[in-house]
Structures are given as C-alpha cells and as structure tokens.
Amino acid sequence: MHKVRPVYCSLYLKNNYFMNKNSLFILLFFSAAVFFLFQECNTSKEDIRTFYRVPLICGVNREIACGSRVKPLFLETEKQPEIKESWINRQGTVIAIVWNESLSQEKKNNIIQPLFAKYEIEAEYVSDTEKKDRIIESFFSNVAPAQKGKDKWYHGMEVDQLSLEEAGSMGDSATLFALKAALINETEAFKIKNDIEEYMKTELIKVRTFKELTSDETDLKWKKQGYEIYIKYIGTERAEDVRDYYIEYQKQIIKKKSCCEKEKNMTPASKITCPYCGHKKMETMPTDICKLVYTCENCKKDIRAKQGVCCVFCSYGDRKCPSMQEDKKSE
C-alpha cells in the first residue's frame, strides 16, 4: 500500500499538469479571439463616424446651436446614399456624420466637404486622437432621445428643437430691453414676448440658405412683424417710442463695441444664485452679449434680469458682467 501511493500521486499530478496546461492554452486562445473581435468592432465603429469642428453657435442664445443654419445641410445629407445619419451637439461646435459603410477619409471628404461649402459652413475634420476620443465619449453618452442638458446631441430634423428654443430667446430679447426701460409693463411684455416667439417659431424652422437667413429682407420682415405685434398690444404711439428707444439702444451697443475687446483684466466668471431655490453655480459670462435670461439647473425656472439692470449676472451674480466691469474701470 505504501508503494502504490507515490505512483498514484505522481500520475495524478502529471495528469493534472497536462489538464491545467491544456486549459491555459484554451483560455489564452479564447482571450485572444475576444480581444481581436473587440478591436475589429471598435475600429469599425470609429470608421463609420467622423467628426467636424464647426462655428454654428446661435447669435441670440450662445448656449445652443443655430438650428436654422444646420437644417439645410442635414436635409442634403439625407439624400446622400453613403450617409446614414447627421448629428450636431447642443453647443453648435461639432457635427457628427455616420456613414453607411467604412470609407477612406479621402472619399468621406469628397462627399461631405462640398456640402459644407455649399451651405457656407466652415468645417474642420477632427483628426487628433485625444480630441476625437473625448467627442466619441460625449456622443455615445448623450444621443438618447430623452437625454437633456448642455451635452445633448440632435439628430437630423431634431435641430428644429433648437430653432424653437432660439425663438424663445428672440422673444425675450425683443421685449426685455423695453421692459427694463419701463416702456411696457410685465403683463404687456409677457403677451408681446409670446406672440413674437410663436411667430419666430414658424420662421426659424423654414429651410433657408445662409444668405437668405442673414439678408436685409429677412431682417426687415422680422422687425416689421415685431413692430406690428407691439402696436397690437400697446398702440401705435407707444410702439413708436419703443422703436425709437430700440434704435438708440442698438447705437449704444455699437458704440461700446463688443465686450470681447475689453476682456483684459476682467473676471470672466460669476457665481449666480437662483432667486427661487437658492441654488448657486459658477458660470462663464458671455463677452459679446448681455444675458437676459438664465435657466436654473436645479429648479428649471427661467431667471430674468431685474428691471433696470443690464443682465442676469448683474442681477443675481457675485460679479458684474464684463461690460459693467469695463464701465466701472473707466470711471
């Protein structure tokens, strides 16, 4: 009995060794197969998506993209058999093109760049790996239909949502200056703002080229309609007072020039406190416009500049806006 045990143990260890060795080979082979499969899938995903830097920030609301500018391009991409989807991020700084199949970058550029040129959009292909990885991460984490917030991406004709939001900003800018100057009261401002917003919603979702969108004819048409809405609620005489004040108001803005020329030695950020819920957040202040409306990320309510105050930062922030900082500096 004592002689058999060593032999049995030896055989057991030998067989166990070969079993473990075979298992190890199988495990290594399976791991390698999974790795290469993952690499192939990952490469395929990257190949069918390209990203382009674009300057499509809304002129009225600097926090969103201009849906009117990108809509004609996206309609055109839907006609291209090689293109599956077109997306733009909420900030209006990146367009994503999803292709139906993997193509060389040269072929992709031959398809998409003429479309960018046709609609006068300056687009720069994102080739830097690190920057592309950050964009891809943002893209995949924010393309869900229910996704909200500053990192949301808009697909195809979803860009109309941006235009509707822009219409609200235009309604605000068309009335808040008159409200702050006490030319209209809050009830009148509310009604005028709503009518202008509804009108602009129908205008901004129309398909227009960049030249049509920025033409004097379009600008005059919108201003005339806004003037008629003012007449509807406050009469011709008071509407004329608002019109005259608006002309002088615009002259003062031009005289001051863009605040971005006065950025030096200014504090670009301000901690804004919501007057409704008390939520505080540090925000970067725009240097080229006065921000009249701000939406609290906590309670979702719109905060408007106080009457007689130039913007929400001067109303509820811990620092004045760049324009007021410059004025104080020059005193």
Would you say residue 125 has pLDDT above 70?
A: yes
What is the spatial distance between Cα 116 and Cα 120, in angstroms, rounded to a whole number? 6
Q: Confirm whether 122 is domain-assigned.
A: yes
142 & 188 share domain: no
Same domain membership, residue 310 and residue 283: yes
90 and 189 fall within a common domain: no
The DSSP letter of residue 78 is T
* Burial degree of 291 (CB within 10 A; 0-12, 13-18, 19+): buried
Higher pLDDT, 304 or 36: 304
Q: What is the pLDDT of residue 289?
A: 66
Instruction: Check residue 30 and give its pLDDT.
Output: 52
Tell whether the model's pLDDT for residue 268 goes beyond 80: no
Give the C-alpha separation, 88 to 257, whole Å: 31
Does the predicted model carry a pTM greater than 0.85? no
In a domain, 204, yes or no: yes
When pLDDT is cut at 50, 70 and 90, the band that residue 260 belongs to is: very low
Residues 149 and 55 in one domain: yes
Top mean-pLDDT range of 12-21, 119-128, 221-230 = 221-230
Summarised one tens digit per residue, pLDDT across range 132-173 is 777 777 776 655 544 556 678 999 999 999 999 999 999 999
pLDDT at 254 > cutoff 70: no
Between CA 288 and CA 263 the distance in angstroms is: 10
Does 214 share its domain with 146?
Answer: no
Confidence of residue 256 (pLDDT cuts 50, 70, 90): low
Neighbour-count burial of 29, counting CB atoms closer than 10 A to its CB (0-12 exposed, 13-18 middle, 19+ buried):
exposed
Average pLDDT rounded to a whole number, residues 180-198: 94
> What integer pLDDT is reported at residue 6 of this predicted model?
47
| Number of domains the chain contains | 3
Q: Evaluate if residue 64 carries a pLDDT over 60.
A: yes
Do 278 and 216 belong to one domain?
A: no
Structure tokens at 117: 């040129």
Domain check: are 51 and 150 in the same one? yes
Name, in order, each residue with C-beta under 8 angstroms of 307's C-beta and a sequence gap of 6 or more. Answer: 179, 180, 182
Which of 260, 276, 297 finishes a domain?
A: 260
For the stretch 295-312, pLDDT in tens is 898 888 888 887 667 788
pLDDT of residue 35: 42
Residues 147 and 67 in one domain: yes
Instruction: Report yes or no on 7 lying in a domain.
Output: no
Which range marks the domain in which residue 140 is found?
A: 47-156
**For 34-48, 154-168, 258-272, which range has the lowest pLDDT when averaged over its residues?**
34-48
Average pLDDT over residues 78-98: 93
pLDDT average, residue stretch 12-24 = 50
Q: Please check whether residue 241 lies inside any domain of the structure.
A: yes
Mean pLDDT of 97-120: 90
Whichever domain contains 62, its CATH number is 3.30.70.100
- In the chain, alpha helices (H): 4-47, 67-77, 105-118, 129-141, 159-180, 186-204, 210-213, 216-256, 312-316, 322-330
Give phi and psi for 292, each to the nearest 5: -90, -25
Q: What is the pLDDT of residue 18?
A: 45
Confidence band of 239 (pLDDT split at 50, 70, 90): very high
- Looking at residues 27-44, what average pLDDT do you find? 45
- Are 218 and 286 found together in one domain? no
Instruction: Report CA torsion sign: 117, 118, 119, 125.
Output: negative
Report pLDDT for 262. Answer: 45
Residues 245 and 147 reside in one and the same domain: no
Q: Tell me what pLDDT residue 214 has.
A: 86
**112-123 residue pLDDT tens:** 999 999 999 999
17 domain residue, yes or no: no
Instruction: Express as a percent the part of the chain with pLDDT over 90.
Output: 42
Would you state the pLDDT for residue 274? 92
152 and 165 within one domain: no
For residue 46, is pLDDT > 80? no
Q: Looking at 260, 276, 296, which one is the last position of a domain?
A: 260
- Whether 304 is covered by a domain: the verdict is yes
88 and 147 assigned to the same domain: yes
Residue 145 in any domain: the answer is yes
Torsion of CA 161, 166, 168, 172, to 10 degrees: 170
pLDDT of residue 248: 84
Boundary (domain end) residue, out of 156, 173, 196: 156
pLDDT at res. 168: 94
Predicted confidence at residue 234, as pLDDT, reads: 96
The reply to whether 10 falls in a domain is: no
